[in-house]
Chain A
Amino acid sequence: MSEKEKEIQKIFNDYMAEIIADGAENETLRVALKRAVNSYRGNLKKALELFPDSIDYKEKARKIKEYSIDHLEELIDQTKKAVERNHGVFHFAKDADEANEIIADIVGKPKKTIVKGKSLTTEETELRQYLQEKGHEVWETDLGEFLVQIRDGRPMHMLAPSVDLTREEAAELISKITGKDLPKDRIDTSVEAVREFLRDKFTKADTGISGANVIAAETGTLFIIENEGNIKVAASCPDKYVALVGVEKIVPTLEDAMHLVKTTWRFANYVVPSYVHMISGPSKTGDIEKTTTYGAHGPREFHMVLLDNGRLDVAKNDDFKELLYCMKCGACMYECPVFWVTAGHFGKKYPGGIGALWDAFVATGMEEAAPSVYSCAICGRCKTRCPLNIDTDKMIKKLRKILYKKGYTPAILKEMKDTFFKG
């Protein structure tokens, strides 16, 4: 084995060790996932019974994404103009490091308190860790993400980052950080304890940070779906609000954005989410002499940081641009047999089969993504579930060709090739 091959094999071995230790040998984790899958299916059923027309959303949603990804640069330009028109500050980050630096500059010095909403894009850039290293106090305020933070873990699912925890484990973790002795069999007391704990952080925070589900280019409006209300507070209380959003989230119009928002929440298994925020700029008032004055009750500063990190190249690649259609609704993961078997350890920063593609092209690079790419069973159930009909397994097969050429194929498959296919 050459040094390079040894390196590749080590990535695979580490991945296997992670799956086996943290995932497959962990009985409670599988119990938690099973419960989550059943809840997802039940909730989706309820939502589809109430709103059967949801099935018809899908086709239009796909068309909107197809158009948007084909016109991405134009839409970025339009978004920039709109944000500036709205007295917001527009930033463009070509990669993760640049995004983190931009946000650290906005946050300022010395030590600040920052409250964050759940966002896969900030996971991609490892923003929390970056800001913590700069000495800031950063709090994840989504309950699932808060649990990820306090156990120093990684999000297991796009929308439900702690889908792998049972109520008992969650109560134990929350008891530890809040100093309360919470009953293990109850969820409501755990939720209440986190609510109390984070209240104080929200009121003290200097900056609120979140991602967004969709951006409407015509008005520069962010659309954010949530249930807990944490983003509502994080985007309203602090003086500064920053949204870090991948460029692929932009669509042309408010109407398009709302259509995608509706499709996302429905297939994320909500009848209706508690909140959908539309944020277009800093807080303002025109109540005195109809003269617009910025900085009323909400944030005085509004920053939109658009992240490229490889997305613009993917948008130009006909073989893979479909991966940018993903709305991160997380639906496919509940139907993915590999996600179950690996107990959530499928994908590095972005989970699932679609996540393996995101990792390869955007978040981690091909070498790190290879074990997940080869784990995919290419069974195609994710495509059936995906509201945008994204053909993940087709892209996985194409990506394997690239990985093979680059020498990122695991030893077991190389052996298979050398012995099996000789005929």
Chain B
Amino acid sequence: MKVLVAGMSNLEHQGQQGVIDSITSLLKKMGVDYQIFTDEVKCWEATLNLGFEDISEKVSKEFKEKAEATGADLIISSFAAGVQKWRTELPNQYGLELGIPYIHVSQFIADEFKKSSPDLAPFPHKYFVQHGCTLGRKMKGFQAIRDVLSYVPEIEVLEEEHPTAELEKMDKAEFNTCPGSWLNFTQPELGDYIKENYVLSVLAPANPDYAGSTCANGHYGIVQGLEIAEIEDIKPLYFTELLDRIWR
């Protein structure tokens, strides 16, 4: 099975080299036949969110053509938006169907771990997971990351608590706070206040050693937020970075 890795150009644009390196390193360690999607339009999914209708169909088609031309059997990405766009928005709005299954990297790793358990070194730390809004709340993709982290010896997984989620018969991750990377991007003047919204209100009170979002975009928000808040005790660590670090 040949795997096409999407979203890497956007990770590069955001300066998330650690995430890029850990994904490729992990895929190698897992023995996956992969190819990086190098000429993908950066952040093309955002055109759909921003209403740039004149180009969103064009860039989506471009993605489809280029992806299908690679001959890949599966596309994976650390960003959830692309997965969702191809699942619902693009088929519904433009009648566009992608000829290749497209899943989030957490799902891919969870599926691979089910086939063959990884040998991971203990990680005796508190790790806070933010469930990205698209992957979590909108696609109900909460379980894959929980499954993946369940293979990590000695890890203590922390999640954002919500006082009424259980009473409302919802997964607590349905209420996960957005770390605000979008707002920071569109209104950078508010960057300072991302720390209030997320870091100081949600992340710091949980007192983790490390924190990461399932979605690379959310993770970018965490990285920025911790930096702005000048918090050094909590280290941003994307789950692929974590796995890569403890892989034996």
Contacts and interface: CB of A to CB of B under 8 A. Distances in A.
Interface of A: 16, 19-20, 24, 30, 34, 41-42, 44-45, 48-49, 52, 55, 335, 337-338, 340-343, 374-375, 377-381, 384-385, 397-405, 409-410, 412-413, 416-417, 420-421, 423
Interface string B23-64: 000000000000000010111101111111101000100100
B108 interface: no
A397 B196 CA distance: 26
Contact of B190 (A34, A341, A380, A385): A341
Interface in B82-102: none
Interface string B160-177: 001110011110001111
A24 B190 contact: yes
Contacts of A41: 162-164
Contacts of B183: 337-338, 341, 375, 377
* Interface range on chain B (Cβ under 8 Å from partner): 35 or more
SS of B interface (majority): helix
B205 to A, nearest CB: 11
Contacts, number: 126
B133 interface: yes
A220 to B, nearest CB: 35
A421 B198 contact: no
Contacts of B192: 24
Q: Which 8 pairs of residues, A with B, have the shortest CB-CB distance?
A: A400-B51, A379-B178, A401-B51, A379-B133, A404-B51, A48-B167, A423-B41, A341-B197
Contacts of A377: 133, 178, 180, 182-183
Contacts of A42: 163
A411 B225 CA distance: 24
Given A338-B183, A385-B175, A417-B47, 16 more contacts: A20-B190, A337-B183, A340-B196, A375-B183, A375-B186, A379-B133, A380-B133, A380-B138, A381-B175, A381-B177, A381-B178, A403-B51, A416-B50, A417-B50, A421-B43, A421-B47
B151 interface: no
Given A41-B164, A375-B183, A423-B59, A417 B190 contact: no
29 contacts: A16-B187, A20-B190, A41-B164, A52-B167, A55-B167, A337-B178, A340-B201, A341-B197, A342-B190, A377-B182, A378-B182, A379-B133, A379-B182, A380-B133, A380-B134, A381-B133, A381-B178, A385-B175, A397-B49, A399-B51, A401-B51, A402-B51, A412-B186, A413-B186, A416-B46, A420-B42, A420-B43, A421-B42, A423-B39
A375 B169 CA distance: 30
A378 B164 contact: no
Contact of B41 (A341, A343, A409, A421): A421
Contacts of A49: 167
Contact of A55 (B53, B62, B169): B169
A218 B44 CA distance: 51
Interface string B184-223: 0011011011101110010000000000000000000000
Nearest to A383: B137
Interface string B132-162: 0110011000000000000000000000001
Nearest to B218: A379
